[in-house]
Amino acid sequence: MKPLLLTNEYPPNIYGGAGIHVQYLSRELAKLCDVEVRCFGDQKVEDGNPVVRGADVDTGDYTAPKPLQSVFSALQRCLDFNTENIDADVVHLHTWYSHFGGLLAKMNYGIPLVLTVHSLEPLRPWKREQLGGGYDFTLWLEKTAIEMADAVIAVSHETKADILRLFDVPEEKVPVIYNGIDPDEYKPTYSEDILRKHGIDPEVPFVLFVGRITRQKGIVHLVNAIQHLDPDSQVVLCAGAPDTTEIAAEMENAVEAAREDFDGNVVWIKEMLPDAEKVNLYSHARVFCTPSIYEPFGIINLEAMACETPVVATAVGGMKEIILPGETGLLVPLAQQMESPFEAIHPDVFAHDLATAINELLHDPARCEVMGKAGRERVLDTFSWAEIAKETLALYEKVSQ
């Protein structure tokens, strides 16, 4: 069995959970079979396992509107994925960026198609801000790929329910296989020097956020909650890669306002940190917060839990399956009343509820310690990449029969 994984993100070009998923899944699969990865970028590993081939595109001559350029450059890379001969037994897709490449491989090379759903375009309407009319194309592309796939992996049971609700796919074609974590890389690790390097006071408890600046991650709601937090605490935002200039400006304004209304320290780290530094921040944080308004899984929660840090997260998507309320963290209901959760969030209520949950843990370090240890145990028991790779390989074998 030889799988070909098609992906936008692959080291060193990783900015989200899908890239982390492919990085670790390919590593563990390579212990079981030959693996090839084709990705966006200039990566090239010909003599290893996995074999890695990047596809790069020069968009300098593009005259299409800027929001469409990422769509067309993705399609060009997907063509390039296929013009180089494919000798794999199955093609496995990750995010809409790779879907066109998988469709071409299935039809032209006659191999089965497996697709992992890391998120669903119909549930991310704010992507129109980023892609313009390209969003309509990604809706069509995702629907086509999901409905043509031989198997569609859902990363949580709630994601599976969304797939079955939104697409014409038989339930038996939609297995649930969780994301995972490497507990040897993500474990309690402490260095006060790294805190000081980023302007964090080692003596003052802090709440931590790690993620992209996007509507989906809900970071602006956390920033709006800062005014309600205990002033004897700190807030550390590891947040970069804004989806649009508009949300970047909104974030700047929100952080500036938060600093004016909060007596504590607000640290905003805008660059992507090396993993070792990120692990240190997870480990030192008293609380980790994931205020997402849509989150099919949420690998960052596993990263925090593996570092023995309790999590305050929105009660949406896969986070309801990761976090055990009262045992490994707290879940906060998404404050809404209307049909669409993305248009009907009550920002003031949601911000206040987030702050209440965060303060509850900030004020109880002993409880945080107990929750943190329980969180790591849960990670070790349930979210192993080695087991996930075995499940995925078994699926490849099933669809190839």
User: In 157-233, where do the E strands start and end?
Assistant: 206-212
Return all residues near 193 (Cβ < 8 A) that are at least 6 apart.
Answer: none
Please give the DSSP secondary-structure letter assigned to residue 190.
Answer: -
Cα angle value 209/276/330 (rounded, 5°): 30
12: preceding bond cis by omega (within 30 degrees): yes
**Whole-number pLDDT of residue 347:** 85
What is the greatest pairwise CA distance in the chain? Answer: 63
Contact indicator for 262, 222 with CB cutoff of 8 Å: no
Alpha-carbon gap, residue 377 to 93, rounded angstroms = 31
164-218 pLDDT, tens digit each = 999 999 999 999 999 999 999 999 999 999 999 999 999 999 999 999 898 889 9
234-265 pLDDT, tens digit each = 999 999 888 888 899 999 999 999 999 999 99
Alpha-carbon gap, residue 320 to 169, rounded angstroms = 24
Q: How many CA atoms lie within 13 A of 309 on its CB side?
A: 34
Q: How far is CA 147 from CA 143, 169, 237, in A?
A: 6, 6, 38
Give the count of beta carbons closer than 10 Å to the beta carbon of residue 15: 14
Domains and CATH numbers, the chain: 3-180+384-399 (3.40.50.2000), 192-382 (3.40.50.2000)
**Which tokens hold the place of 303?**
């990263």
Alpha-carbon gap, residue 279 to 273, rounded angstroms = 10
**Whole-number pLDDT of residue 162:** 96
Give the count of beta carbons closer than 10 Å to the beta carbon of residue 131: 20
Return all residues near 136 (Cβ < 8 A) that are at least 6 apart.
Answer: none
User: In 241-338, where do the E strands start and end?
Assistant: 265-269, 287-290, 311-314, 329-332
DSSP alpha helices (H): ranges in 271-383? Answer: 275-284, 299-306, 319-322, 347-362, 365-382
Phi and psi angles of residue 134, each rounded to the nearest 5 degrees, phi first: -60, -25
Count how many residues are written for the chain.
401
Q: Is the pTM of this model over 0.85?
A: yes
Return all residues near 172 (Cβ < 8 A) that are at least 6 apart.
Answer: none
Q: How many CA atoms lie within 13 A of 43 on its CB side?
A: 23
Contact indicator for 262, 224 with CB cutoff of 8 Å: no
Give the count of beta carbons closer than 10 Å to the beta carbon of residue 365: 11
Give the count of beta carbons closer than 10 Å to the beta carbon of residue 284: 22
Q: What is the pLDDT along the chain (401 residues), one digit of tens a residue?
A: 999 999 999 999 988 889 999 999 999 999 999 999 999 999 999 999 999 999 999 999 999 999 999 999 999 999 999 999 999 999 999 999 999 999 999 999 999 999 999 999 999 988 898 899 999 999 999 999 999 999 999 999 999 999 999 999 999 999 999 999 999 999 999 999 999 999 999 999 999 999 989 888 999 999 999 999 999 999 999 998 888 888 999 999 999 999 999 999 999 999 889 999 999 999 999 999 999 999 999 999 999 999 999 999 999 999 999 999 999 999 999 865 444 444 556 888 999 999 999 999 999 999 999 999 999 999 999 999 999 999 999 999 999 99
Contact indicator for 286, 206 with CB cutoff of 8 Å: yes
**Which tokens hold the place of 9?**
């993100």
210-224 pLDDT, tens digit each = 998 988 899 999 999
**Whole-number pLDDT of residue 338:** 43
**Whole-number pLDDT of residue 334:** 84
**Which tokens hold the place of 220?**
């602006």
